[in-house]
Structure 1
Amino acid sequence: MDTTDNTTSNITSFAADVKEGLTAKEKHLSSKYFYDDNGSRIFMEIMKMPEYYPTNCEFEILSQQSGDILDKLPFKGKFNIVEFGSGDGMKTKQLLSAFMDKGADFTYIPIDISQEAIDALEKNITDALPNITMKPKTGDYFEVLGELTKSSTPNLFLFLGGNIGNYPREDALDLLKKFNAGMKTGDMLLMGMDLKKNPRIIQKAYDDPHGITKAFNMNLLSRINSELDADIKLDQFDFYSNYSPKNGQVNSFLVSLKQQQFYSKVLDTTFYFERDELIWTELSKKYSFDEINELAESAGFSVAHNFLDCKHYFTDSLWRK
């Protein structure tokens, strides 16, 4: 699947981040490394769990309300739909199909750093919607944004999936300000955001009774063993996830069950752990409507409309620059 050069660069980046994260005073591993082949398969299982609501909620919104989303757009004539991090396009396909059915005149521009991901998405979308006008872009989001601002064509930007929740407050604000700086006045941003709700519902979604989320996190340690030639004893670690309804944050951790150490030949480094020491792996922030309005305004946007699933668990929030 990967070329040799890509694999080498990925392992180099992975190695550097693992060494930095596991020698820090407060140990951490980046959630971006969840998604190797095995991790991606496990995440597909997570999305099928009855407890994991975000994917189904957003799919419902885009399946049933995309016509209403189109009606809220101020554009007259041609416009672009520009998507950051489009994944497999399963949910986006619902929106694109509804827009085409209503005769909208748009060009779909998905952006991803991975050419492989773009190729797979292009096939997926054109197989389902053969008449779509599509101009995929491979590269950094902000480089592509710079190209789009040179055109007078208005844009609807998509940042779906609740991905903004993986960023700490200041990082989220920084990212959104960069989006704003690359947009023209009147451009719109549709962003998936998970909402605060009954804490038990959220807790079960991120610490499920089937052990699938635990396997997803433990796969990070398996990657270190296989890619960095390490000797981690997986049964000496556990998984813990906690949701705080006050700040809306889910934080996930791996837990060392004993005082221990492991060695990586690739890094030529021994890593030391105290009993009960934590490795932070992921943040997933849940928002109130007041927080959504405050975040939008701080980044230079105004909220035009919040589209909700029937349970009011999730919103695709439409913002105007």
Structure 2
Amino acid sequence: MNQFLKEVLQDLSQTQKSLNSKYFYDGKGDKLFQEIMDCPEYYPTNCEKEIFRDRTTDLAIALKNGFNTFDLIEMGAGDATKSSYLLKELIDTKVDFTYMPIDISSAMIVHLEQSLPEKIEGLKVHGLNGEYFEMLEKANHISFRKKVVLLLGGNIGNETPENAIEFCRKIRASLQEGDLVLVGFDLKKNPRTILAAYNDAAGFTRDFNLNLLHRINNELDGDFDTEQFEHYPTYDPVTGACKSYLVSRIEQEVRISGQSFHFKENEPIYMEISQKYSVEETEEMAKIAGFKSVAHFFDHKKWFVDTVWQCI
């Protein structure tokens, strides 16, 4: 049984049905996520891009931290749009570094290894295709140099606060004292602004969630009637938890690879979380996970922060 099928059957068998958001990203899902990032309500991408574009020199100084030789590792690099500003600045200031992008997509790693040195002359790229922590371990075997790790895009927000702390502890366990991590956090702000970002008027976020049901139908012999599920996002301004659900419009049976699942009318499938933080909460997380917070970089609205942590 493949991992995708195994997790889907397991997650839909729980009292609180859920689906893992990591499976959103097939070919159609990638395109829909690009549409989400380009829609006017979705602010996080532009906020962080502004930080990397307008604070590049300060970012580079903070990440060099007095060193001129290190490995720059990006977890979940994607197309490296934002980090390219930093890469160019480090090359222009004659820093001796190797860029090590980690991505689950082998095609993306091949693309980065080929395209980035053409765009940024003198850049050394050593791509790492696989899961985050296996690839961090591999990076340690490739080179003993100081490490600077990037975790951008508010990806840490795709975990509950408890799981995010565990995740950061695992990063810390892979690094040495003095190594640095830059983490992007989407900050708490007006609740309507946050909710609109996950419920865009054009319906791209709705389609992005429903696409996972289509994917299950296509790849796992499912028979979801996507017309009978409604996208429902929520945001709790106290806890900072922004969650997405797909709610069954009717009582119905769904079959996946021969296994049957009963849905009551109005029963939700929990799809994903996008956790929002205060600056104080990010500093507390750093402390608990074995880091000290050394610098904060904000966009001009202070809606997003890229915070630099040092391993202690």
**TM-score (normalizing by structure 1):** 0.92
Deviation at 1:94, TM superposition (A): 1.2
Equivalent residue, structure 1, for 2:49: 59
Is the contact made by 2:19 and 2:269 (CA closer than 8 Å) also made in structure 1? Answer: yes
Deviation at 1:259, TM superposition (A): 0.5
Aligned equivalents of 1:82, 1:228: Cα separation in 2: 35
Deviation at 1:152, TM superposition (A): 4.5
Q: Secondary structure at the match of 2:124?
A: coil
Letter in 1 for 2:302: H
Counterpart among 97, 102, 107 of residue 88 in structure 2: 97
Counterpart among 188, 208, 211 of residue 216 in structure 1: 208
Q: Secondary structure at the match of 1:316?
A: strand
How much identity, in percent, do the aligned residues show? 42
- C-alpha root-mean-square deviation of aligned residues, in Å? 1.5
Is the contact made by 1:67 and 1:102 (CA closer than 8 Å) also made in structure 2? Answer: no
Counterpart among 97, 103, 115 of residue 106 in structure 2: 115
Q: Secondary structure at the match of 1:120?
A: helix
Equivalent residue, structure 1, for 2:219: 227
Letter in 2 for 1:27: K
Deviation at 1:64, TM superposition (A): 1.1
Counterpart among 67, 71, 75 of residue 61 in structure 2: 71
Cα gap change, 1:21 to 1:140, in 2 (>3 Å)? closer
Q: Over residues 112-134 of structure 1, what are the superposed CA-to-partner deviations in whole Å (9 max), with x where a residue is unaligned?
A: 34322211222232231132022
Equivalent residue, structure 2, for 1:4: none
- Alignment of 1:86 with 2:80, yes or no, is no
Equivalent residue, structure 2, for 1:138: 129
Deviation at 1:33, TM superposition (A): 0.8
* Structure 1 segment 128-277 matched on structure 2, within 5 A: 128-149=119-140, 151-264=143-256, 267-277=257-267
Cα gap change, 1:261 to 1:143, in 2 (>3 Å)? closer
Q: Secondary structure at the match of 2:16?
A: coil
Q: Secondary structure at the match of 1:70?
A: helix
Equivalent residue, structure 2, for 1:19: 9
Aligned equivalents of 1:305, 1:111: Cα separation in 2: 24
Letter in 2 for 1:184: Q
**More displaced stretch, 136-145 vs 210-219:** 136-145
Equivalent residue, structure 2, for 1:281: 271
Is the contact made by 1:54 and 1:314 (CA closer than 8 Å) also made in structure 2? Answer: yes
Is the contact made by 2:113 and 2:126 (CA closer than 8 Å) also made in structure 1? Answer: no
Deviation at 1:17, TM superposition (A): 1.3
Is the contact made by 1:75 and 1:154 (CA closer than 8 Å) also made in structure 2? Answer: no
Q: Secondary structure at the match of 1:72?
A: helix
Q: Secondary structure at the match of 1:213?
A: helix
Is the contact made by 2:295 and 2:308 (CA closer than 8 Å) also made in structure 1? Answer: yes
Q: Secondary structure at the match of 2:55?
A: helix
**More displaced stretch, 140-149 vs 36-45:** 140-149
Letter in 1 for 2:269: I
Aligned equivalents of 1:261, 1:51: Cα separation in 2: 35
Equivalent residue, structure 2, for 1:299: 289
Gaps of 5+ in 2: none
Q: Secondary structure at the match of 1:90?
A: coil
Q: Secondary structure at the match of 2:125?
A: coil
Q: Over residues 119-160 of structure 1, what are the superposed CA-to-partner deviations in whole Å (9 max), with x where a residue is unaligned?
A: 122223223113202222233433343354465421211011
Aligned equivalents of 1:257, 1:14: Cα separation in 2: 25
Deviation at 1:225, TM superposition (A): 1.4
Deviation at 1:212, TM superposition (A): 1.0
Q: Secondary structure at the match of 2:162?
A: helix
**More displaced stretch, 124-133 vs 142-151:** 142-151
Cα gap change, 1:96 to 1:239, in 2 (>3 Å)? same
Cα gap change, 1:318 to 1:137, in 2 (>3 Å)? same
**TM-score (normalizing by structure 2):** 0.95
Is the contact made by 1:89 and 1:124 (CA closer than 8 Å) also made in structure 2? Answer: no
Letter in 2 for 1:204: A
Aligned equivalents of 2:260, 2:221: Cα separation in 1: 12
Aligned residues, how many? 309
Letter in 2 for 1:262: V
Equivalent residue, structure 2, for 1:6: none
